[in-house]
């Protein structure tokens, strides 16, 4: 069996796994026993540990972790740096963990921009291809072109904030990204033996949510004051249909240049409603040669991946009869 067939089989298995939607979550909440249907013993148990139960729900729902599996197309470079077009393919694998919520403001949330401030925290681990430079034979000048593609590991932590005036009804926002801190693996060790290059960048992030989302509207999750399963309007499970990031950053080392300043543009669009397929474009330009790529990836909750190995929430249980 070829590698492409194996990859297609894994992705199809992940997409076939059941995912949690807002409606399903609401239904499960409504089916839980109400106080009037509980026995005296149940009521006593509920009264003995209400705070801990709500705390567990909050912790469980505030963060959502998803896996991305796909393919990335990059330029094919000759040894002398000639760009032959997008003819090189590399695997694109990412694990992204995010916590996103909207503050309660006790105002009329039916009005535009009244969903409250949006706050997002995230942690990304991405394996991807990137432009690289082979041994230049000791040339005195800094290389002006890439002549190779390497596999890179990019790890970063970020937080961003959108004031309520930039959270638009029914489901989009424009946020300020505070310095994203991370590191990316080097193609080869530097003179000090370091295998990673640190970076920091800041910019703006636009997100658009629509009917593709498991939580359809900001108006729904803004009413979370009466729903303890979504504390403070948590919308971590919802995956934006469009995400556009524009940032300016500093790299410890980039394309043989130290303290390089770069402009980063990354646009991601969900292209199908029935399945979570995303198409993305990434451009990294500035001091030194420019790097760009396109990608196609499927997104699935990390629990679906863990269940393939008998791990994750409710892994031993079967839901086929439900």
251-293 pLDDT tens trace = 999 988 999 999 999 999 998 877 889 999 999 999 889 999 9
Residue percentage of the chain with pLDDT more than 90: 41
- Is 319 a member of any domain? no
* Residue 317 maps to a domain: no
Structure-derived torsion over alpha carbons of residues 230, 237, 208, 73, reported in degrees to the nearest 10? 170
pLDDT of 34 higher than 70? no
Instruction: List residues bridging with 261 in a β-sheet.
Output: 250
Task: Note whether residue 312 is domain-resident.
Answer: no
Could you tell me if residue 322 is inside a domain?
A: no
Instruction: Single out the residue of 114, 112, 147, 122 nearest to residue 133, CA to CA.
Output: 147
CA distances from 226 to 55, 57, 229 (A): 15, 14, 9
For residue 316, being part of any structural domain is answered with no
Q: Is the pLDDT of residue 74 over 80?
A: yes
Nearest to 72 by CA among 282, 266, 274: 282
Number of domains in the chain: 1
Is residue 270 classed as helix, strand or coil in its secondary structure? strand
Task: Classify residue 314: in a domain, yes or no.
Answer: no
Whether 108 shows a pLDDT value over 60: the answer reads no
Asked, for residue 60, whether it belongs to a domain, the answer is: yes
Q: Is residue 125 part of a domain?
A: yes
Range 173-179 average pLDDT = 94
pLDDT higher than 60, residue 72: yes
Rounded to two decimals, the pTM is 0.73
pLDDT (0 to 100) of residue 187:
74
Q: Nearest-CA neighbor of 246 among 232, 259, 264, 233?
A: 264
Domain that holds residue 228: 3-30+42-307
- Angle separating helix axes 40-48 and 50-62, nearest 10 degrees: 70
């Amino acid at each position: 069996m070829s590698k492409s067939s194996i990859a297609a089989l894994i992705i199809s298995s992940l997409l076939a796994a059941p995912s949690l939607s807002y409606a399903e979550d609401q239904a499960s909440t409504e089916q839980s026993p109400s106080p009037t249907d509980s026995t005296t013993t149940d009521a006593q148990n509920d009264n003995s540990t209400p705070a801990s139960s709500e705390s567990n729900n909050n912790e469980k729902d505030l963060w959502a972790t998803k896996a991305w599996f796909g393919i990335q197309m990059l330029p094919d470079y000759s040894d002398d740096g000639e760009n032959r077009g997008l003819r090189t393919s590399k695997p694109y694998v990412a694990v992204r963990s995010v916590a996103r919520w909207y503050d309660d403001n006790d105002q009329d949330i039916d009005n535009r921009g009244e969903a409250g401030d949006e706050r997002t925290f995230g942690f990304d681990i991405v394996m991807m291809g990137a432009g690289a430079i082979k041994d230049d034979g000791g040339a005195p000048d800094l290389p002006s072109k890439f002549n190779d593609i390497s596999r890179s590991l990019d790890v970063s932590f970020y937080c961003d904030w959108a004031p309520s005036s930039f959270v638009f009804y029914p489901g989009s926002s424009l946020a300020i990204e505070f310095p994203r801190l991370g590191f990316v693996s080097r193609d080869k060790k530097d003179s000090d033996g370091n295998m990673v290059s640190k970076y920091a960048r800041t910019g703006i992030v636009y997100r658009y949510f629509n009917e593709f989302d498991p939580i359809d509207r900001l108006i729904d999750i803004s009413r979370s004051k009466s729903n303890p399963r979504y504390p403070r309007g948590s919308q971590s499970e919802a995956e934006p249909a469009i995400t556009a990031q524009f940032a300016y950053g500093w790299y410890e080392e980039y394309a043989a240049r130290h303290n390089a300043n770069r402009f980063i543009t990354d646009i991601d669009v969900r292209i199908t409603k029935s399945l979570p397929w995303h198409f993305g474009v990434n451009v990294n330009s500035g001091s030194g040669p420019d790097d760009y790529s396109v990608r196609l990836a499927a997104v699935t909750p990390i629990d679906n991946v863990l269940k393939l190995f008998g791990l994750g929430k409710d892994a031993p249980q079967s839901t086929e009869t439900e």
